[in-house]
Amino acid sequence: MREAQNTAPGLVLFDRDGTLVVDVPYNGDPAKVRPVPGAREVLDDLRARRVRVGVVTNQSGVARGLLTPEQVTAVNGRVDELLGPFATWQTCPHGPDDACACRKPAPGMVLRACAETGVPPQEAAVVGDIESDVLAGLAAGARAVLVPTEHTAPEEVRRAPVVAADLRGAVDVLFGPDEGA
């Protein structure tokens, strides 16, 4: 599915687990971080185009007592080593019942990332593997692309306004196949 665009985004925010790196539930071990195929190339291509890239990630394992904030920071650091640098990191440590403004699908992390980088939400995009990623981007006023995995619910794929097969496809949707990095 393709979405017509007037301008290319100046900021692309990626979900971490299942989008940039292989999802290891409640991962607190940096040694278990494995980039998804093609992630580094897509990120490097965006950087070469002078597009800022960032991460917006729910980490409810902190609220659930399964992870410490230090473990999340260490895993994020490993992602940064393998795939960075990122213009912004936004992490929500809250649980689903905490009613915070940052946990996706709420737009808080997307809005903070935009404020931190100086890119208006309407000039940003969010790429993720589940519906809450898409909804957070849309709620913030950004574009959103779903890149489903085997864990993405079929109904989430049907409801998504824009779907791409992989990260390269998401960039093609956002920038056009000839413009894609």
In the chain, where are the structural domains located? 11-175
Which residues does residue 165 pair with via DSSP β-bridges, in sequence order?
A: none
Residue among 76, 142, 73 nearest 107 (CA): 142
CA distance 163 to 131: 11
Quick one: average pLDDT of 17-35?
97
* pLDDT at residue 172 greater than cutoff 70: yes
Q: What CATH class has 11-175?
A: alpha beta
pLDDT surpassing 50 at residue 181: no
The pLDDT assigned to 177 comes to: 72
Residue-wise burial string across 9-38, b where 16 or more C-beta atoms lie within 10 A, e elsewhere: bbbbbbbbbbbbbbbeeebbebeebeebee
Pull the structure tokens for residue 66: 């399964």
Catalytic residues: 15, 17
Average pLDDT over residues 84-108: 96
Helix, strand or coil, per DSSP, at residue 139: helix
Q: What is the mean pLDDT of residues 20-49?
A: 97
Amino acid 178: pLDDT: 58
* 7 band by pLDDT with thresholds 50, 70 and 90: confident
Q: What is the value of pTM for the model shown?
A: 0.94
Q: What percent of the chain has pLDDT over 70?
A: 94
Residues in the chain: 181
